[in-house]
Structure 1
C-alpha cells in the first residue's frame, strides 16, 4: 500500500532529529559559559551532558515499546511537548541543580522522539524506498551535528547561552501541532493495546543507568573502587532480572524472540561497535589538536566537523545503494574504512600539514556514512511492524551505548598510559615536554579503536545476506 503522506511525515521526523542533534552539539559548546555564569566546576557541569545521555538511553526501549502499544502518534506528539517543556525549563534555570533536572525532562522528550523516528519511516515508506529515506535521515543527523557548533558560536557571541534552549520552543510547538494532524492515519497508528511491562521497564532503566554511570565515571572513581564495582554489579543483576522477567511476562518490554532474528541481532551489535570505534576519534582528536598541535579552538572545531560533512552528503547515497545492492557489503566496507582511518591516525605527529589530518578524518566520515543507513534499514526491515518500536529503541540504545563505551574506553586507556609515563602527572598539567608521552597514549587509543572497527567489519560480513 502506498501511503501518500510519507514525505510530510519524513519532514516531521527530520525536524525532531535535527532538533535533538543540534541541541546536543550546541550544549557542548555552551558548557564553559554556563559554568562561568553559575560559578561551578567542570566535575559538576559535566552532569548537564551525562544526565541527558543517561535519561535518553534508559528510556528508549520503554518508549519504543509504548509506541507499539499506544500508537506512534501519541508518543511522538507527547515527545515534542515534553522536549519543548524541558527546553523552556533549561532556559530559565538559575542553578546547576535545576538545569540538570530540566535536562532530565528534555532527555525524556528526546527519547520519545528518537524511539519512534526510525519506526515511523519504516511504517510509511515502501520497502524499496526505506534505505533512501533512512539515508536522508542520516544526512539530517549530520546536518544537526555540523551546524550545532556554528549556531552555538553565533548565539553565544550575540546572545545568552539560554537562547540555545529557547530556540527549540517555537519549533517544538509547531511540530507538536503538525504531528497531531499528520499522524492521524499512519499504518498501525492505533497500536496493539497490549499492557506495558513495568517490571521490564524498571530493570532496564536501573541496568542501563548503572552501566552508563559506571562507564562514564570509571576514570574518576577507579576500576576497583566500591562505587564502580557496585554500578557494574547493579547493572548485571538488573540485566538478569530483565531476562527472567521477559521470559515470564506475557507482553515483555523486549521481545526475546527478536534475538532469534539474525538480521536484527548482528547488525545491532555492529552498530554499537561502529559508534564505539568512531567515538574514540571524536573524543580524543580535540585533545590532540589542542595540546600537541597547539591549534586554536576555531581551527580544532573546523577539523572536527569534517567527518560529519561527509556523513551529510554520503548517507543518502548509501541508503539508495542499499535499496539496490543490499547492505552486507556496504556495512562491511564502511567498517573497514573506519578501521583504516583509525590506523592512519596512529601515524599522526605534531607539525603535520592540516591536509594530512583532514583526509584521515574524512575517511572516518565516509566509512560511517556507508554503514549507518544501510545497517538501520536491515534492522528495521527484519522485524514485524508490531515490534518496530522496540527495534527502533534498540537501535538508538545500541548507538548511545557505543558512544559511551567509546569515550569510556578511550579515557581509561589514555589516562592509564599517560599518567604511567609521566609518573602520575595528569593532562591538566600538560607541558610541551610531554608530547612523546601524549602521542604514545594517543596511539594506543587509536589502535584499540581500530581493533573494534575491524571486529565489527567481520561481524557485518559474517551476518550473511538479507
Structure 2
C-alpha cells in the first residue's frame, strides 16, 4: 500500500515537473499567450484543491480504495486527452478543460494516501512512513524534468502527457494486491455546499490571476473578487452549519493543526512558483536547450527529495517538529533569495547554490508537519483532517501561482505576453513572491510553534 500511494503521489508530482519543461514548446506550438501559458499550470492545481474535499466526501460514502481507483482512472484518461489537444482556436479551452479534469482526478486520489498510511502505521513509525511516501513521490519529481525534456525534444510536447498512463496502470496493479479493512461510512453525498465552494474558490483564485491581465484597480476585477468572497462566505456558513460537513472546517479550531496546515500551504505556494518560473527562465530567458533545461532543474528537485527524506529522520531523532520546520524554512528563504539575486547574471553556476538550499529547505518541513497535524486530531477524524490539509495545501499552491502569475503579467512586456514568453526582467518578480511566502512561513513558525512542544513515544 505504501508503494501504491507513493507512486500515485509521484505521478501527480511527475506531471508538475514534466509539464513545466514542456510549457514553452507548448505555447509556441499552440500559439498560447502568456496568460494561457500560466493558466495551464494554474487550472490543474486549482482543480486539485477544489476536488480534494469532494474526494474525501466520496471516500466516506464509497470507501477509500474505490475512490482512489476512480481518481487514478480519471487522471489517466485526462492525461491522454491533453496529448490529443487540437490546434487552432479550440486548443486553449480544450487543453484547460483536460488539465482541470487531471486536477480533479488528482484531488480524488490525494486525500486517500495520507489517511491510509496514517492508519497503517503506529505513531512511532508514522513520521518515517510519511517521509518514505513523500520521498518515493519525490523520486518521480526528480525524474520529471529529464523525462519531460527527453520526451519533448524527441517526440514533441504532446508526449509528456500520455507518460502518466503506464504509471497509472502500475499504481492500479499495486493497489489491486493491497488488502485494507474498511467499512465506508455511507454518508449521503452533499451537492449544494461543495458546488458553491468549488465555484467560489475558482472565482477568487482566477480573479486574483485576472488582476495581471486587467489590472489590480480594474472595477471588473474588484467585482469578480467580491462575488467570489461573498459566495465563499456563504459556502463556509453552510459547511459549518452542516451536522456532517463534506469539509470539516471545525478542525481549524485545533491550533497546532491550523498552524501546521498554514505552513504547509505557504511552502507549497513557494515551491510551485519556483519550479514553474525557474523552468521558464532557464528555457526562455537563458535560451537553454530542452535537455539542458531538464538537467538544470535536477539540483532543485533532487535537493527537495533529500530534504523530504531527511525530515522524518530528524523528527524521529529529536521528537520535535521545530527542528526540521525552522531549519527548513530558514534554509528555503535564504536559498530563494540567493537564487533571485543570481538571476540577472544569466549564469547557471551562480543559481545552483540557491536552488539546492531552497530545495532542501522546502523539503524539510512538510513530512514533519504532516505527522504532527495528523497526531493532533482524534483518530476518528483523521480522514477529515487529511482532506482539509490537502485542500488547503493545494489551495495555497493555486494562490501562489495566481499571485505570482498576476505580478509577472503586470511586469511583462505586452509583445512578450502575446508570444507566450516571460521576459528576463519579469521573472524575478515571481521569485520575490516565492521568497515572501517562505519568509512569512518562517516568521509564522517561529512565533506559533511552541518551544516546548514535543512529540511523545507511546
Q: TM-score range by the shorter chain?
A: 0.7 to 0.9
The answer for the alignment partner of 1:255 in structure 2 is: 248
Distance 1:256 1:464, change over 3 A: farther
User: Number of paired residues?
Assistant: 446
**Hey, what's the Cα distance between the residues in 2 that align with 1:16 and 1:446?**
27
Q: Deviations over 1:343-366 (max 9, x none)?
A: 434543644864442122211111
The answer for the alignment partner of 1:6 in structure 2 is: none
Out of 433, 444, 458, the residue aligned to residue 456 of structure 1 is: 444
The answer for the alignment partner of 2:5 in structure 1 is: 13
Distance 1:234 1:171, change over 3 A: same
CA RMSD of aligned residues (A): 3.2
Aligned positions of 1:328-347 closer than 5 A? 328-345=322-339, 347=341
State yes or no: 1:48 paired with 2:40.
Answer: yes
Out of 112, 119, 122, the residue aligned to residue 116 of structure 1 is: 112
Higher mean C-alpha displacement, 343-352 vs 213-222: 343-352
Higher mean C-alpha displacement, 309-318 vs 287-296: 287-296
Is the contact between residue 151 and residue 160 of structure 2 (CA under 8 Å) also seen in structure 1? yes
Aligned positions of 1:131-170 closer than 5 A? 131-170=127-166
**Hey, what's the Cα distance between the residues in 1 that align with 2:431 and 2:359?**
20
- SS of match in other structure, 1:192: coil
When normalised by structure 2's length, the TM-score is 0.85
Q: Deviations over 1:5-64 (max 9, x none)?
A: xxxx00111121111211232223334444455455454455433332232111111212
**Hey, what's the Cα distance between the residues in 2 that align with 1:64 and 1:412?**
31
State yes or no: 1:359 paired with 2:347.
Answer: no
**Hey, what's the Cα distance between the residues in 1 that align with 2:428 and 2:166?**
48
Q: Deviations over 1:306-357 (max 9, x none)?
A: 2210122232221132133231332122112212223434543644864442
The answer for the alignment partner of 1:27 in structure 2 is: 19
- How far off is 1:143 after superposition? 2.0
State yes or no: 1:402 paired with 2:396.
Answer: yes
Gaps of 5+ in 2: none
- How far off is 1:216 after superposition? 2.5
**Hey, what's the Cα distance between the residues in 2 that align with 1:322 and 1:443?**
29
The answer for the alignment partner of 2:195 in structure 1 is: 202
**Quick check: which has more Rg, 1 or 2?**
1
When normalised by structure 1's length, the TM-score is 0.84
Out of 187, 207, 218, the residue aligned to residue 214 of structure 1 is: 207
Is the contact between residue 270 and residue 435 of structure 2 (CA under 8 Å) also seen in structure 1? no
The answer for the alignment partner of 2:101 in structure 1 is: 105
Distance 1:238 1:141, change over 3 A: farther
Gaps of 5+ in 1: 1-8
